[in-house]
Amino acid sequence: MKRNFRYQRAILASSLQIARDRMTGKGRTLTAARIVLRICPDFLSRIERPSLVVAVVQASHDPSCRDLIADLLGGSGTVVYANDGDGADSVVDLFLRGKKKKRDQKAALIINLDAAEGDKVLPYLKPDLVVVGGLSLADSAFNEDMQLVSLRKLTDRIDAKGKVLLLGDDVETVFMAPHSKRVLYSVARMEGEGSDHIPLSEDRKTCPVCGKKLAYEYTRFGRLGKAQCPSCGFETPQADYVGVPDLEARAIALKGVSYWLLRDDLYGAYTETAAIAAALELGVDSAQIRGILKDMDTLSEGEE
């Protein structure tokens, strides 16, 4: 960790900006963090790295997967720091705010990142686990394609150091992060699911191996599902973690253990499968995860 002249200048400029924000009554803004990134783009490689870094990289702005991973790690006794937002500036801001000052051996940084911002953070923080493909619910095929392009570009460059947890129900994500140790998660087929919703994106209609038309056994959200290629035999691979939800019973089973399902829809099942898989990969015990989710469920019922 080398603290060079640019780093010192960035810290000084950000302190001045923080004081200015305070004096003008603006409170805390992200301006100081943006100034840091402009002066010292590799700032995040010059700070004291937390002992565990997890990044949730996704196309949607939904923070629920990041939040749930933070809850599961926090509940198991780790001190968790999470960014507020999904830009590189929100990550830098965490360190400027001094939230990460303590030299806590068990501290973990759990960040949510927009796919387009990944390059400003991942090469410097080198996460231990990157969770990719928190379900995107883009409103058009064009936006969907743009998001996929940034995810693909980003994951192509993730170096092999950490593990990458990928959405295994999407023919577009199963090949991402080719240079990393890849772990796939999936949500099992639900009763009554057919193949009537053809994927929005052209890329998902064709085989990623030979380019011929894919046949879907079932589809969901117009983008996910299980596909086979009649021409070359490619099929959606078997995932390492398969969530089997029972929406009525508010339960989801993973590797033979049943957990409380916090949100009784498929979208919630994806978020929870990804978060539980991430926690298990990080070494949290399944009994502990079960207890934390049960407590969270009781808490949310109490609020209603």
Site for Zn ion (CB under 5 A): which residue of 73, 207, 252, 277?
207
Nearer to Zn ion, 108 or 229 (CB): 229
d(CA 290, CA 301): 17
* Cα distances (angstroms) measured from residue 35 to each of 11, 19, 31, 222, 299: 9, 14, 6, 40, 40
Distance between CA atoms of 243 and 252, rounded to whole angstroms? 6
- CB nearer to Zn ion: pick between 51 and 228: 228
Number of residues that bind Zn ion (CB under 5 A): 7
For Zn ion, which is the closer residue by CB, 231 or 288?
A: 231
Closest CB 19 distance from Zn ion, rounded Å: 60
Nearer to Zn ion, 91 or 207 (CB): 207
**What mask of x and - would describe binding to Zn ion in positions 126 to 165, judged by CB under 5 A?**
----------------------------------------
Within residues 223-252, the interface with Zn ion by CB under 5 A covers: 229, 231-232, 234
Q: Does 259 bind Zn ion (CB under 5 A)?
A: no
Q: In what order do the strands lie in the sheet with 251-254?
A: 80-82, 108-114, 52-58, 129-134, 163-167, 181-187, 241-246, 251-254, 257-260
- Nearest approach in angstroms of CB 149 to Zn ion is 22
Helix or strand or coil: residue 287? Answer: helix
Q: Is 209 in the site for Zn ion (CB under 5 A)?
A: yes
Per the DSSP assignment, residues forming a β-bridge with 167 are: 185
Measured from the CB atom, is 102 or 213 closer to Zn ion? 213
Residue 44 phi, psi dihedral angles, 5° rounding: -70, -15
The site for Zn ion (CB under 5 A) is made up of 207, 209-210, 229, 231-232, 234
